[in-house]
Amino acid sequence: MFKKARIALLLFLLFLVATGTWLHQKRLTDWDESIWVVVYPIAGDTTRKTQRYMQRLNIEHFRPIETFVTRQARQHRMRVTRPVKMILGDAVRAMPPAPPVNGSVLSIMAWSLRLRYWVWQHESDDLLGDVSIFVIYHDPERSPRVPHSLGIKEGNIGVVHAFSGNKTTQSNNVIIAHELLHTLGASDKYDLSNGLPIHPMGYADPDKRPRYPQDLAEIMGVRIPLSPNQAVIPRSLNQTIIGPETASEIGW
């Protein structure tokens, strides 16, 4: 009986959250005004490199994301002048709850609620944006591989694992932009089993002849295809585009 009551309560809470999320999402993807994106940095380790990098962070580190979205909006004939406004929030000292590994539907639902509660606890009261992106910085010398980043439409929340260091700032922005678009309804356009972009929707120029190498990446395909079995992360957002399917998914 207790278990059934717990499930019923969870489903009721999710219904309330889903209704509010739908209304919020509808307003965002009308694109009648700028979407405010607040970036909250988090230190993923205690190395001097990470600490120094975070101390030097400023809004200019994330301005290329604004430029990218504006440029792509014009390509898709959107009229909004400034589709995205990036804001840098205060550093957060706590880690977000980790998603379950191969979890059940119920455990994923419970994690989603925990994540939203955690975000509510750590958002700045004076910086209530439309989308909250938490960027966890790792020293690449200590962590050459980082956990998978995520962006969820339910709650408009992104959790990005990035590298500390000036050389990785621009490639970090590629991942941040990718997860940002997830929060607005865009879907992945790469094969989850191998990370390779899916043709044609995950290619910037699917009709190119010869097909390889591609020159750019479709942002939700993430990588630039060099051959049928090889693709690389773009060095910056200048090497990416928003393709027609992604544009449709976010309301363009």
pLDDT tens column, 59-73: 999 999 999 999 999
* Dihedral, 232, 234, 239, 241 alpha carbons, nearest 10: 80
Q: Is the pTM of this model over 0.75?
A: yes
Residue 76 clears pLDDT 80, i.e. is over it:
yes
CA 235/CA 248 separation, integer angstroms: 26
Q: Up-side HSE of residue 135: CA atoms within 13 Å toward CB?
A: 31
CA 168/CA 162 separation, integer angstroms: 8
**Higher pLDDT, residue 128 or 89:** 89
What pLDDT score was predicted for residue 127?
76
Residue 131 clears pLDDT 80, i.e. is over it:
yes
Secondary element (H or E) of residue 6: helix 2-28
CA 30/CA 24 separation, integer angstroms: 10
Residue whose pair of structure tokens reads 């790469």 in the numeric block:
190
CA 99/CA 111 separation, integer angstroms: 6
Between the alpha carbon of residue 48 and those of residues 41, 89, 95, 141, the distances in Å are 16, 21, 19, 11
Q: Over the chain, what is the mean pLDDT?
A: 91
What pLDDT score was predicted for residue 25?
60
* Nearest one of 155, 84, 143 to 113, comparing CA atoms: 155
Residue 232 clears pLDDT 80, i.e. is over it:
yes
169-208 confidence digits (pLDDT tens): 999 999 999 999 999 999 999 999 999 999 999 999 999 9
Residue ranges of E strands in the chain: 35-43, 84-88, 131-138, 150-152, 157-163, 217-218, 224-227, 230-232, 240-241
Peptide bond before residue 244 is cis, with ω within 30 degrees of 0? no
- Per-residue burial over 164-195, b = 16 or more CB atoms within 10 Å of its CB, e = otherwise: bbeebbbbbbbbbbbbbbbbbbbeebbeeeee
CA 252/CA 244 separation, integer angstroms: 9
- Domains and their CATH numbers in the chain: 2-185 (3.40.390), 187-252 (no CATH)
CA 67/CA 238 separation, integer angstroms: 10
**Do residues 172 and 57 lie in contact, with contact meaning Cβ atoms separated by under 8 Å?**
no
- Rounded to an integer, the average pLDDT of 209-228 is 98
Residue 2 clears pLDDT 70, i.e. is over it:
no
113-126 confidence digits (pLDDT tens): 899 999 999 988 77
Q: β-strands 35-43, 240-241: how paired? A: unpaired
